Structure 1
Amino acid sequence: MVLDVWKSIKKGQFAPVYLLYGTEAYLINETKQLLIENVLHEDEMDFNFSQFDLEETPVETALEDVETLPFIGERRLVFMQNPFFLTAEKTKSRVEHNVKRLEAYLADPVPYSIVVLTAPYEKLDERKKITKELKRKAVLVEAKKLGDHELKGWVRERVGSGRIDDQATELLLELAGTNLMMLTNELDKLALYVEEDQPITAEIVEKLVAKSLEQNIFTLVDHVLQRKMESAMTILHDLLRQNEEPIKILSVMAGQVRLMYQVKELSRQGYSQQKIAGQLKVHPFRVKLALEKTGKFQERELLGIMNDLAEADYKMKTGQADKAITLELLLLKIR
C-alpha cells in the first residue's frame, strides 16, 4: 500500500529499487518528491541526483550512472522514466534496451544507489521476465485510485494524526470530490486556517471547502429526487450565474443519474461496492454515495429520468428552446 511505502521513506528505510506504476500521477509525483526530500540533502542534488527518459536513453546507460559512487554524500538517487519495455504497447521510440543488463542489476544492486522506475501505464506486461523480476525484487507503488478506506487514511496522513475526525473527512470528500490534487489544495487551505494544534472539524470544512461542479450537481439531482424544488432551483440558478454551460450541467446530471442506475442494478446482482467501482471504473466513494441515494427509487423511475435528460439534451443541441429554460422545465418535469 502506498501509504506504508511513504511511512518507510519518511523513517529513512529505503529500498534499492522502486517501481512506480499506474496512471494516478499525483501518487507517483508525491512518492518521487518524498524520496528526493529524504534521500538527499539539498547540497547533494547537483552531484548525486539524475534522471533518464528511457524513451531516449538506453537502460544500460542509466545503470552506468547508478553504479557510479556517490560524490560527497552517502547515496545516489536515479529516476528512470517511461520504461516502455515493461508493457506490450508499441512505441515510436527507436532506443534499444539491454534488458538483461537490468535483470542482472536487480539480482545484485549496489548498496549506495536508489533506483526509481516510473511506469505511467495502465497495464504492465506480466508475461515478460523483466516485469516479473521487477515485481519480485522492487518495492512496488501501484499508482491507482485509492479506495474509500485508503483515501480517508491518506487525508489523515496528509493533515497529521488526530487533526481531522471521521465526520470532517467524510464531508471533505463529499464536497471536494476524490481528485488528490484538488484535495491537497483544500487540505492546505484548511491547514492555513486553523492553529497548528487545532482540530479540523466538519464545521470548518463546511465553511471553507468549495464544492466541485460535480458535487453541486450531485446535490442538485439529490434535491430534485427528494422533491426539494426550491433548493434545487437555487443551486441551478447559482450555477448559471457562475457561467456554467447548460449543456455541461445537463451532461453531468445525466452522468450522475446513469451512475445511480448502474450502481443500483449491479448491487441488485450481488456486486460489492468495490466490485461495482472496478466494473464501472469510478471511485469507490462515488459508488458509496450513489448507493445511499438510490435506495428508495425503482429502476424504472431512474430510467424515466434518463429519458427526460436525453430529450432535454436533444432540444438544447437542436436549438428548439432556450437552454436555461429547458433545464428549469426539466427539473419541474422530473419532480
Structure 2
Amino acid sequence: MLKIKEDMKSGEYKSVYLLYGEEAFLRDYYKKALTEKLLDPDLADFNYKEYTMDKPDTEDVAMFLSSYPCMSEKKVIFIKDSDIFYKCTESVREDWKSIFSDVPDYAVIIFSETNIDKRSALFKYVSEHYCVDEFPFQKEVDLINWIERYAKSKGAGISKDAAKYLIDCCGTSMYMLKNEIEKLASYCSAKKVITEEDIDICSCKMVESKVFEMLDAFLDKDAKKGGELYGALKLLKEEPIAINGAVFAKFNQLKKVLLFPKGTPASVIAREFGERDFLVKMWQRQADKTNLEKVNKILELSADTDHRIKSGLSDAWAALDVLIANII
C-alpha cells in the first residue's frame, strides 16, 4: 500500500510528502485527498499556499512555515514540479535541507514532481525522514479495471476488451483516458454501453501511437519515412512535451528488454515488469536494432529535453529537434 494512503487511513501525518512519477493523475488525486484531510476548506485561503514554478523562493516558503495556522491544526504548502530533487545548486540544496530539518509540527509540505534523481541528496534525505511515493504509469490490468469503474460512474458499461482497445488507441495516461471516457459516456448515453466501434468514432488516437510509428522507422534505418512522420507531427501541431514523453516511454520499453541477456524468454521479462508477453516480444524485435548504451543516452537526453522545455531554457521544438537528431 502507498505510504500516503496508510497515513490518511491512520490519521498520523508526516511533515513532508514527495509524490513523483509519470502518472500525474494519481499524483494530483492523492495530493487533493491529503489536502482535504488536513485542511478545513472554509479556512484554506489562510492555511494553504501553492507554488507551481521552478525552484520556489525558499525564504518565502520559510516565512509561510514560521506562522501558526489560522483557527486550524494544520497548514499546507503544495509545490509542483520544482525540480529540486532533480537538479539544483548547492545553496538551494542547503536551504531546503534547513527547511526539511525543522518543519513545524503544524505544517505539511507536499511535493508533486515529474522529474527526480534518486541519487540526489534531497531525495535521499526526504526518503529517510519523511514519506516518498512513486506513481508510474499503471499496468494494463489495473487500467482496464479503473476504466470499467470510471465508465460505470459516468453511466456507461464497457467490456475488458473494449477497455484494452481504448488503451491501445489513446495510451496509458489516466488524464487522457478520463477525458476519452467522459466523451464516450456522453456519446453512448442512450444505449449506456461503450463498444470498440464507438471508440473508433469518438476517440482521437494518442500522439504516442504516431510517435511510436516514427521511432519504428528510425530504428529500421528509414530516416526518410521517420523524418516525414516527424514533420507530420509538427504540421498537426502536436505538443512537443507529449512527443518527448512518448519517446521516453518507447526507449524505456526497449531498456527493459536490453537489461536481460539476449535470448531471455519474453515470458520471463513480462513477469518481471508486469507486462503482456506479446508486447515484450514486439519490444525484443525492436531492441535487436539498437543497444543499451544508445538507449540510455536517449533516455538521458529525453529527460533533459523535458526539463529544458518546462523550464523555458529552450524553444520546445528546437529542443525536440536535437533529441530526434540523436535518435536518427
Q: In which range does the TM-score fall when normalised by the shorter chain? A: 0.5 to 0.7
TM-superposed deviation, 1:247: 0.9
Contact 1:6–1:34, Cα closer than 8 Å, also in 2: no
- Aligned pair 1:247/2:245, yes or no? no
- Aligned pair 1:167/2:161, yes or no? yes
Contact 1:58–1:95, Cα closer than 8 Å, also in 2: no
Write out aligned runs for 1:33-52 (5 A): 33-36=32-35, 39-52=38-51
TM-superposed deviation, 1:251: 9.3
Could you tell me which residue of structure 2 aligns to residue 140 of structure 1?
132
- The CA deviation string for residues 252-277 of structure 1, in whole angstroms up to 9 with x for no partner, is 9xx9x999999999796216579579
SS, match of residue 78 in structure 1: strand
Alignment partners' CA distance in 1, 2:88 and 2:268: 32
- The CA deviation string for residues 9-51 of structure 1, in whole angstroms up to 9 with x for no partner, is 6x79573331112354444344434444554454323111113
TM-superposed deviation, 1:181: 3.2
Write out aligned runs for 1:302-317 (5 A): none
User: Aligned letter for 2:140?
Assistant: D
User: Aligned letter for 1:291?
Assistant: K
Q: Percent identity?
A: 20
Relative to structure 1, the CA distance from residue 85 to residue 136 in structure 2 (aligned partners, 3 Å threshold; closer, same or farther) is same
Write out aligned runs for 1:230-269 (5 A): 247-248=228-229, 269=263
SS, match of residue 97 in structure 1: helix
Larger radius of gyration: 1
Contact 1:186–1:209, Cα closer than 8 Å, also in 2: yes
Contact 1:176–1:182, Cα closer than 8 Å, also in 2: yes
Partner residue of 1:114 out of 108, 111, 118: 108
TM-superposed deviation, 1:170: 0.8
Alignment partners' CA distance in 2, 1:217 and 1:83: 28
Alignment partners' CA distance in 1, 2:231 and 2:83: 39
* Structure 2 unpaired stretches of 5+: 214-225, 234-246, 290-328
Relative to structure 1, the CA distance from residue 246 to residue 135 in structure 2 (aligned partners, 3 Å threshold; closer, same or farther) is closer
Could you tell me which residue of structure 2 aligns to residue 19 of structure 1?
18
TM-superposed deviation, 1:97: 0.3
Contact 1:19–1:141, Cα closer than 8 Å, also in 2: yes
TM-superposed deviation, 1:8: 7.4
Alignment partners' CA distance in 1, 2:94 and 2:77: 20
- Aligned pair 1:152/2:144, yes or no? yes
TM-score normalised according to structure 1 size = 0.54
Partner residue of 2:264 out of 254, 265, 270: 270
* Structure 1 unpaired stretches of 5+: 220-244, 301-335
Could you tell me which residue of structure 2 aligns to residue 212 of structure 1?
206
Could you tell me which residue of structure 2 aligns to residue 65 of structure 1?
64
Alignment partners' CA distance in 1, 2:107 and 2:39: 11
Alignment partners' CA distance in 2, 1:144 and 1:203: 30
Aligned length, in residue pairs:
262
SS, match of residue 124 in structure 1: coil
Alignment partners' CA distance in 2, 1:263 and 1:81: 29
Alignment partners' CA distance in 1, 2:164 and 2:205: 13
Contact 2:7–2:13, Cα closer than 8 Å, also in 1: no
